[in-house]
Structure 1
Amino acid sequence: MRPRLISRRRLLQGSLAATAAIPLLNAEWARGDESSAPKRFVVFYTPNGTLESSWMPRGSGNNYTLSPLLQPLEPFKAKLIPLRGVNMDVVVNSNIGSEHARGIGGLLTGRALLRGNFRSFNSNNAGWSSGISLDQHLANTLKPPTLFRTLELGVQVRDAEVRGRICYAGPDQPIPPREDPYDTFQQLFGAATPGPGGADAMDRLRAQRRTVFDILGEEIAAVRPRVGAEDRIKLDAHMQSIRDIEQRLAGGSGGVETAGCTGPALGERINLADDANMPAIGKLQMDMAAAALACDLTRIVTIQWSYAESEHLYPFLDLRGNHHAISHQWDTEGKAQYSKIHTWFAEQLAYLLGKLDSYTEGDRTLLDNTVVLWVTEIGESTQHALTNMPFLLAGSAGGVFRTGRFVDYLANGGRPRQHNDLLLTLANALGTNDTTFGDPNYCTGTLPDLT
């Protein structure tokens, strides 16, 4: 008998939704009414700008060399598009908020800040952004058939004012990121929501989760004979990935270091307030982001590291000063310390790209079917610049973007382009018919030389 077609949405609504859905398979039964893998959008935000001279690649087009700060991304060079000559003029001339606040507020909205009472650097008049962010606009417009319209993840963001928000449901409507990986795991893959009851409740949660994993294992075992060898490998790898995440959260063997842990939640809980735990927290969030995309639990993810004008400490990099202070230490030692932080963030992006690239989808990978946008709120850190922003794309959104090239809009006397046009280009690449995005006074059309 011909096996009944099972749509991805139906899989997500069934028992698999309690822990994890099967990643995209080649087999017809798993595709249902989708003829090709969907496109995904990921934002990767890091704070405090960059050192332009050490960030911008050398060369042009596909004949380019990654700069020192981008060296960790070398394995993915063929899937990158670093950009030069993109300005954020929409917030350059605003007198509301510091450059850091203006930058992060307009980063995904393409609009200036509203007036308010938030303190940002030497300014006390900053409010929230005056527009919707691209991620939320995509969700509203494309209406992806996923359990989660969008997934906002944070890594020690801490700031609850304008400096700590990149996502907006609309003007004056910030969306806070999920900063607790334990909560993230529970919402994405957990079997139940624990209520009051302390250790007994957590024991029940673990028992329920083990039961669901057993059910998932049985269903996968039943499915495996019906799919090809490539899909069997994918199923096994996905199951192991989810188990690895749960094991690390529960403090089992192979888990993260748990120095400074508190509370008996999901085993030995990482202290989320300890700066030394930033790498462990970030890795958990990135692993879950990749799994959620592969599961088709969501198609739109933002990952926010810290906050604009971040004063985060980096003891795991053997640095003593805070990030913002180091970014303005303009001597040789300060630039070396700042470069160390920026290189570390590039390493984190490389880790995420590697996770996405590990999922195969037909003749492409999950990374190929995604476009990742790496952004920060200012350009040259020593100048608080909002011009020539160090933006970078990774992945082709299913073949839309022509990757493996350095796109320099300032080459040969070229003129700067607006970041509103970059946001519009991304929106169109992902499936919208928009002709403008953000403030229309700063949006003239899609950027050339990207698609």
Structure 2
Amino acid sequence: MRPRLITRRRLLQGSLAATAAIPLLNAELARGDEAVAPKRFVVFYTPNGTLESQWMPTGTETNFTLSPLLEKLEPFKSKLIPLRGINMNVVVNSNIGSEHARGIGGLLTGRALLKGNFRSFMSNNAGWASGISLDQHIANKLKPSTLFRTLELGVQVRDAEVRGRLCYSAPDQPIPPREDPYDTFEQLFGAAVPGQGGSEGGSAALDRLRAQRRTVFELLREEIADVRPRIGAEDRIKLEAHMQSIREIEQRLAGGGAPDGTGAPAPLCKPPALGARIDLSDDANMPAIGQLQMDLAAAALACDLTRIVTIQWSYAESEHLYPFLGLSENHHAISHQWNDAGKAKYTKIHTWFAEQLAYLLGKLDSYKEGDRSLLDNTVVLWVTEISESTQHALTNMPFLLAGSAGGVFRTGRFVDYLANGGRARQHNDLLVTIANAMGTDDTTFGDPEFSTGPLPGLT
């Protein structure tokens, strides 16, 4: 009798939905549906620029030292490309909107803002961006065969105007991010989360809940049981850890207790107390909300539910509070405190953001795809809407790439276009370079006046 096989995709959809930070099985029985793993694109946005002196690495292309604001990324240094000398000239000279609004509007579109009535800092004439964003463009061109063409996630974004929108399906057509990880979980994995309202005490509601909570893990249980005797001890340990991890993330989202230790899913049909649900409006919960969104982003990519994800932390010109860092003033106010005390507070916030990116990179790197990891098959772009915060600058942007998009980018280098008398490059061309790495044939992107083609020295 021919032995039953579990494909990589089905295994991921079941036992990896919780994004356990351990590698996939090495056994040949868990083999991929495709000969080559797909490429993925992730945008990681954080607000209010940076301190250039504390962000830019030092040293040479291949012998460089990460700066204080980047030191949390040291474990992934060999998979990084910090960039120096990237300008956003497409929005520098525009008179529409503040630098913050212009910056976030142009980050992924490579185009200036349209006129409108949104207020942003000292300006009240800002409209939406005038072009499609790179994530949507890549999805339109490549038409990935995934359940979700793209996935837009937000962490306490709150602003519904131009400052709070990163992605655009077309000119003047912003895409709001998903800010509720509970809703994200239900949409991705088809499992209802208790505490979402409705008559949870009725038998009909419980029956629906029981049906919805039949996760793919449960549906795959028979196949997993068939495979377990034919894999090695090491792989068996990994498989058990994966199966445990989905139970844990379900309970984190539902507010349930610890797993029961029996090897079967914990009883999730009993609605938990609503008080256990994370308050999405509380600034103190930003770390927990962000971690859930990053876990779900990694799961969606690993399960091939999508290949393009944007993660947006707050909004441009953010006035978010960070009580969990011991700070009482808002982020934007701190970004303009130019004394040493203000810079220390600002550094604390942006070091924390680097730590969040390190968490996401670690999740992606934990999934093994042949001789590479999910991170290796992904290109992550870390962006912010301005550069030097004290000057509202839109030149020498603090952009960073992580992952090689399946070997396209040569990582572990500090690419400095200003070194040795070099000239600055346009961020539109960085967007073209990423599009090409993902598989498009674009020669320009965004406003063609500010785009001449792919950047040199990255691939």
Q: Could you say whether these structures have the same fold, taking a TM-score greater than 0.5 normalized by the shorter chain as the test?
A: yes
1:70–1:156 CA distance, 2 compared to 1 (3 A): same
* CA distance in structure 2 between the partners assigned to 1:110 and 1:130 by the alignment: 9
Q: Is the 8 A contact 1:249 1:266 kept in 2?
A: no
For residues 211-240 of structure 1, the C-alpha deviation after alignment (integer angstroms, 9 at most, x for no partner) is 334323333323445667776555444333
Percent of residue pairs identical: 79
- In structure 1, runs of 5+ residues without a counterpart are 256-262
Q: Is the 8 A contact 1:24 1:37 kept in 2?
A: no
Equivalence for 1:207:
210
1:141 partner amino acid:
K
Correspondent of 1:420 among 417, 428, 437: 428
| Count of residue correspondences | 441
* CA distance in structure 2 between the partners assigned to 1:25 and 1:148 by the alignment: 25
Q: Is the 8 A contact 2:16 2:243 kept in 1?
A: no
Correspondent of 1:446 among 445, 448, 454: 454
Equivalence for 1:398:
406
* CA distance in structure 2 between the partners assigned to 1:20 and 1:195 by the alignment: 24
Q: Is the 8 A contact 1:116 1:127 kept in 2?
A: yes
1:128–1:208 CA distance, 2 compared to 1 (3 A): same
2:414 partner amino acid:
F
What does residue range 14-413 of structure 1 map to in structure 2 within 5 Å? 27=28, 30-32=31-33, 34-192=34-192, 196-200=198-202, 203-204=206-207, 206-212=209-215, 213-225=217-229, 235-253=239-257, 268-413=276-421
1:283 partner amino acid:
Q
* CA distance in structure 2 between the partners assigned to 1:136 and 1:233 by the alignment: 39
SS of structure 1 residue aligned to 2:146? coil
1:160 partner amino acid:
A
Equivalence for 1:259:
none
* CA distance in structure 2 between the partners assigned to 1:439 and 1:385 by the alignment: 20
* 1:169 Cα offset (Å): 0.5
Greater CA drift, 14-23 or 275-284: 14-23
* CA distance in structure 1 between the partners assigned to 2:437 and 2:73 by the alignment: 23
1:296–1:317 CA distance, 2 compared to 1 (3 A): same
* CA distance in structure 1 between the partners assigned to 2:345 and 2:81 by the alignment: 26
SS of structure 2 residue aligned to 1:207? helix
1:266–1:420 CA distance, 2 compared to 1 (3 A): farther
2:163 partner amino acid:
R
Q: CA RMSD in A?
A: 2.8
SS of structure 2 residue aligned to 1:338? helix
1:254–1:115 CA distance, 2 compared to 1 (3 A): farther
SS of structure 2 residue aligned to 1:398? coil
Q: Is the 8 A contact 2:90 2:106 kept in 1?
A: yes
* 1:60 Cα offset (Å): 1.7
1:251–1:121 CA distance, 2 compared to 1 (3 A): same
2:369 partner amino acid:
E
* CA distance in structure 2 between the partners assigned to 1:298 and 1:362 by the alignment: 19
* CA distance in structure 1 between the partners assigned to 2:140 and 2:59 by the alignment: 39
* CA distance in structure 1 between the partners assigned to 2:99 and 2:213 by the alignment: 49
* 1:431 Cα offset (Å): 0.7
1:21–1:35 CA distance, 2 compared to 1 (3 A): farther
SS of structure 1 residue aligned to 2:316? coil
Q: Is the 8 A contact 2:4 2:223 kept in 1?
A: no
* CA distance in structure 2 between the partners assigned to 1:90 and 1:234 by the alignment: 49
SS of structure 1 residue aligned to 2:276? coil
* 1:3 Cα offset (Å): 5.6
Greater CA drift, 185-194 or 99-108: 185-194
